[in-house]
C-alpha cells in the first residue's frame, strides 16, 4: 500500500546532522545481484544525502524513472525505470564523518519533480532527454559498450608515469588504442606531460585554473566573473600550451552553481561532467535543454536550460559486492583493500551497465586513489585486459562518446575504428 508523505518540523535540522563519504543501503534490488587527496573527502559535499527513515513517499507520485527525490526514504517501494524494468529500492542511511563539509546540503524547492523532457521536442543530434533508452533505437546486442576512463587534477611527472603504466600499449579488441579523458587543473601541472597525453590520443578537458579552496567558493561564493576566470583562463592555457581546444569541463569538488553552466554555454563548451545520479540510476549522457524528470540528486544541478550543452553524468558506483555502499567516483570506494576486491568492484559495476542498456560505464577518479595501494593499479590493469577482449567494448574519450550518441554507429558497422 502506498505510504503517505510525512513531513516533520525538524526536517531542516536533520539535514545538518547527516554526514557521509558514501551512501549506504541495506538491500539492493535483485536486478543488481548479478554480479587531489582532499578532493576525495569533499566531492560528496555536493551530494544531497538521504535522510533517516522519517519520510515516506506515496509511490503514485514518483515519476517513471529509477530512484527517488533526494529528501525521501522509502520502504521497499516498487518503481519502474524508463525501460519498464522494475527496481526495488530500500531505505538509505549515512554513517557519520566528523569533518564532512555540509554547506551544500539543501532541501528541494518542491516535492514535485522538475518538468520532464519531451522526447517529441528533443531530438538527436542536438538534444537528448535523460534516460536509459539506447540512442538511435539500436538493439542492445548491436550497441557498443563504451567505457569512460577519466582522471582529474594537475598532471605531474609522477602522475604521467602512473597513467602510462595503466594505458600505454593497451588497445581495444579492434586494435585501436584505448583512450581516456584527463580533466586538467592548472595547479602543479607540467604541460609537457599534458602534451604527451594529448599526443597519445587522449582527450584534455578543463578542471579550473587554481582548484582553490574552500568548496563553498565554487558552489556559492564565486561570482560569474570569478568562474569565467577559472574556466576560461585554463581553457586558454591548454590551448596555448598543447595546441588543442578543450570542450569539456568538470567542476572542482563537483560543486557547481548556476553561473558555472552559464559560462560553459556562453563559451561553446560541448559538455559538463559534474552531476551525479541516484544509486541504481544509469542514464546515458543527455543535454541540458530540459531538466530531467527526476529532481536532482545533487544540490548543484542547473535550473535553467542550456541548449546543446551535454551532461556526462557521474553514474553512482556500487562500492562493494554486498551492495551497501555507493560513491560517485572511484576514490570514494575506500573499502577496497585487496586487488581482488578492487577488481570485483570494477567488474560488478561494468556488468550492471553491460547487462542493462549498455550505458557508458564511468571509471572516474583521481591518481591519489592509487597512492600507497599498488594493488589497485594491478586490479585496474587486470580489468582493462579482461574487458577489452569483448568485441563490443571500447575505451573512448568523453568527446567520442557524445559524437557516437549524436550519430549512433552499430556494432556491425565497426564503430571507433582507428580511421574514424
Average pLDDT of the segment spanning 395-412: 98
Whole-Å CA distances, 348 to 16, 71, 214, 337, 352? 33, 28, 35, 16, 6
Please tell me the distance from the alpha carbon of residue 323 to that of residue 335, in angstroms, as a whole number: 12
pLDDT at 15: 36
Per-residue pLDDT band for 79 (boundaries 50, 70, 90) equals: very low
pLDDT at 69: 28
Average pLDDT of the segment spanning 293-322: 88
Per-residue pLDDT band for 294 (boundaries 50, 70, 90) equals: confident
Could you report the per-residue pLDDT of 166-217, keeping only the tens digit for each? Answer: 999 999 999 999 999 999 999 999 999 999 999 999 999 999 999 999 999 9
pLDDT at 394: 98
pLDDT at 420: 53
Per-residue pLDDT band for 115 (boundaries 50, 70, 90) equals: low
Contact (CB, 8 A) for 68 and 25? no
More confident: 225 or 2: 225
Per-residue pLDDT band for 295 (boundaries 50, 70, 90) equals: confident
* Cα end-to-end span (Å), the chain: 54
Least confident of 256-260, 302-306, 387-391: 302-306
Average pLDDT of the segment spanning 277-287: 94
Could you report the per-residue pLDDT of 370-402, keeping only the tens digit for each? Answer: 998 999 999 999 999 999 999 999 999 999 999
**What pTM does this model have?**
0.76
Nearest to 277 by CA among 223, 327, 336, 349: 327
More confident: 171 or 104: 171
Least confident of 79-93, 164-178, 235-249: 79-93
CA dihedral over 22, 25, 28, 33, signed as positive or negative: positive
Per-residue pLDDT band for 308 (boundaries 50, 70, 90) equals: very high
Could you report the per-residue pLDDT of 152-163, keeping only the tens digit for each? Answer: 999 999 999 999
Please tell me the distance from the alpha carbon of residue 55 to that of residue 4, in angstroms, as a whole number: 9
> Which of 40-44, 230-234, 302-306 ranks highest by mean pLDDT?
230-234
Contact (CB, 8 A) for 61 and 294? no
Average pLDDT of the segment spanning 103-128: 64
Mean pLDDT (the chain) is 78
Please tell me the distance from the alpha carbon of residue 272 to that of residue 254, in angstroms, as a whole number: 10
- DSSP at 214: P
pLDDT at 71: 26
Average pLDDT of the segment spanning 297-306: 86
Could you report the per-residue pLDDT of 43-52, keeping only the tens digit for each? Answer: 544 444 333 3
Average pLDDT of the segment spanning 138-147: 98
Per-residue pLDDT band for 94 (boundaries 50, 70, 90) equals: very low
Q: Residue 335 pLDDT more than 70?
A: yes
pLDDT at 118: 86
pLDDT at 370: 95
| Three-state secondary structure call for residue 182 | strand
Q: Residue 113 pLDDT more than 50?
A: no
pLDDT at 300: 78
Q: Residue 80 pLDDT more than 60?
A: no
Average pLDDT of the segment spanning 132-138: 96
Class of residue 143 by CB neighbours under 10 A (exposed 0-12, middle 13-18, buried 19+): buried
Whole-Å CA distances, 302 to 15, 63, 165, 299? 21, 19, 37, 9
Average pLDDT of the segment spanning 127-137: 95
Q: Residue 359 pLDDT more than 60?
A: yes
pLDDT at 14: 37
Amino acid at each position: 500500500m502506498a505510504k503517505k508523505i510525512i513531513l516533520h518540523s525538524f526536517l531542516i535540522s536533520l539535514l545538518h546532522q547527516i554526514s557521509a563519504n558514501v551512501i549506504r543501503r541495506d538491500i539492493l534490488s535483485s536486478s543488481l545481484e548479478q554480479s587531489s587527496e582532499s578532493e576525495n573527502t569533499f566531492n560528496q559535499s555536493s551530494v544531497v544525502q538521504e535522510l533517516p527513515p522519517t519520510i515516506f513517499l506515496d509511490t503514485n507520485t514518483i515519476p517513471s524513472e529509477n530512484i527517488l527525490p533526494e529528501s525521501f526514504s522509502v520502504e521497499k517501494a516498487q518503481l519502474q525505470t524508463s525501460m519498464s524494468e522494475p527496481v526495488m529500492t530500500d531505505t538509505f542511511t549515512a554513517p557519520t564523518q566528523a569533518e564532512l563539509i555540509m554547506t551544500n546540503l539543501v532541501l528541494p524547492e518542491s516535492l514535485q519533480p522538475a518538468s520532464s523532457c519531451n522526447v517529441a521536442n528533443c531530438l538527436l543530434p542536438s538534444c537528448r532527454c535523460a534516460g536509459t533508452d539506447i540512442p538511435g533505437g539500436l538493439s542492445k546486442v548491436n550497441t557498443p559498450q563504451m567505457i569512460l576512463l577519466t582522471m582529474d587534477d594537475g598532471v605531474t611527472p609522477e602522475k604521467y608515469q602512473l597513467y602510462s603504466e595503466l594505458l600505454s600499449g593497451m588497445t581495444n579488441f579492434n586494435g585501436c588504442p584505448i583512450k581516456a579523458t584527463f580533466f586538467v587543473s592548472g595547479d602543479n601541472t607540467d604541460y609537457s606531460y599534458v602534451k604527451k597525453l594529448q599526443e597519445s590520443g587522449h582527450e584534455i578537458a578543463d578542471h579550473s585554473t587554481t582548484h582553490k579552496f574552500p568548496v563553498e567558493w565554487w558552489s556559492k561564493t564565486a561570482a560569474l566573473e570569478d568562474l569565467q576566470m577559472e574556466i576560461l583562463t585554463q581553457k586558454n592555457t591548454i590551448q596555448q600550451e598543447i595546441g588543442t581546444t578543450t570542450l569539456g569541463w568538470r567542476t572542482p569538488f563537483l560543486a557547481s552553481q548556476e553561473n558555472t553552466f552559464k559560462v560553459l554555454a556562453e563559451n561553446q563548451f560541448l559538455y559538463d561532467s559534474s552531476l551525479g545520479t541516484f544509486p541504481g540510476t544509469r542514464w546515458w549522457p543527455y543535454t541540458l535543454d530540459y531538466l530531467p524528470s527526476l529532481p536532482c540528486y545533487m544540490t548543484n544541478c542547473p535550473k535553467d536550460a542550456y541548449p546543446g550543452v551535454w551532461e556526462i553524468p557521474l553514474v553512482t558506483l556500487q562500492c562493494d559486492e554486498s551492495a551497501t555502499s555507493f560513491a560517485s567516483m572511484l576514490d570514494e570506494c575506500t573499502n577496497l583493500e585487496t586487488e581482488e576486491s578492487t577488481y570485483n568492484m570494477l567488474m560488478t559495476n561494468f556488468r550492471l551497465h553491460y547487462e542493462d542498456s549498455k550505458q557508458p560505464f564511468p571509471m572516474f577518479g583521481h591518481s591519489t586513489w592509487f597512492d600507497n595501494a599498488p594493488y589497485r593499479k594491478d586490479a585496474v590493469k587486470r580489468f582493462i585486459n579482461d574487458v577489452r577482449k569483448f568485441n563490443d567494448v571500447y575505451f573512448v574519450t568523453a568527446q567520442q562518446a557524445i559524437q557516437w550518441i549524436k550519430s549512433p554507429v552499430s556494432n556491425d558497422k565497426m564503430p571507433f575504428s582507428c580511421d574514424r
